[in-house]
Amino acid sequence: MTASTLLASALVSLTAGSAATPPHPPLVARSLALITSVQPDETEEVRVYDCRDFEMFLPPVPEVNVTEQMLARLANASGVSVEPISGAIVSVVATPAGHTAFARLLADVRKLHDVFQVELIVFRMPKGEAPALGAPAAPQNVVVRTSQTVQRMRAASIESVTQRTYLSGWQPVVGQQASGYESRTEKIEEGFRTIVFIGAGPESAERSRVSLRGRVSGVHFQDVQAPLVDRKGGELLVQLPSVVSRTFDTDMSLPFGKATVVAVLDAENEEESLVVACAVKRMQP
């Protein structure tokens, strides 16, 4: 069984049946060489690893020390010996190659819990001036701007939705000496919704793979005459809503910290385009 298979098995068994907890940015990992008078072996070294950040992002399991079990399984996968010093601060006895393997597995676990700040912007531009996909964005005439933290390899929903109220009809009302109509209203939504997924493809220190699938919707109302008249003989009107939706589905490598065009959509009128831009920023520990 390979180290990656053991790591996947450890993550599945530790998180099975437990409620997911909100992500937290990982702390900076530290590995310090201990100065000892007696070395376990001429080819082995003793180092200290600070893994207290595991306690923040690993989901809790009743009556189980999840961090301790995770470290034990990672140690077994990399062929090293782990002894607790204080909580999740542990000493590791291993060869330099063993320390390298253990540190790599720790980094793999932490990478699964990376957190990013994702900002999504929808803005209007004249149709002939709309930028190409992947181009830097310079938002003007912003329609929607919203942001949210997103954890690596976990789909997240980001939305900015408004409910609009409209006159949908009239309800007859009869009293002892008079009758009439009472207005009836309903609500309808418009705005922006998207699903974001980070980490589905190759990454680097400067860029990350981001998948987005979203919808931009707008509502327009038309006043129409109802087959009713009020007590004064005036015509009663109702509003008929019309929803226009545009969808997009994109998968791109985006630079960190820079708003980039990820979709260009038709606007309600023929003279404009709706541009969707995305900016991704890795949260600092």
Tens of each residue's pLDDT in the chain, 285 residues? 444 444 445 444 544 444 444 444 443 444 444 433 345 555 899 999 999 888 877 778 888 898 999 999 999 999 999 999 998 999 999 999 999 999 999 988 887 778 899 999 999 999 889 999 999 999 999 999 999 999 888 899 999 999 999 999 888 888 777 777 888 999 999 999 999 999 877 778 889 999 999 999 989 999 998 877 665 667 788 999 999 999 999 999 999 999 999 999 998 888 999 999 999 998 865
| Burial (0-12, 13-18, 19+ Cβ within 10 Å), 53 | buried
pTM for this prediction: 0.62
In degrees, rounded to 5, the angle at the alpha carbon of residue 63 between the alpha carbons of residues 59 and 68 is 60
CB distance 208 to 254 below 8 Å? yes
Q: C-alpha 34: how far from its chain's center?
A: 40
| Consecutive H or E run containing 221 | strand 207-229
Task: State the Cα–Cα distance between residues 124 and 276, nearest whole angstrom.
Answer: 9
Structure tokens at 108: 């793999």
Q: Provide the residue ranges of all domains of the chain, joining segments of one domain with +.
A: 3-112, 115-282
The DSSP code for 67 is: H
Structure tokens at 18: 């437990």
Residues recorded for the chain: 285
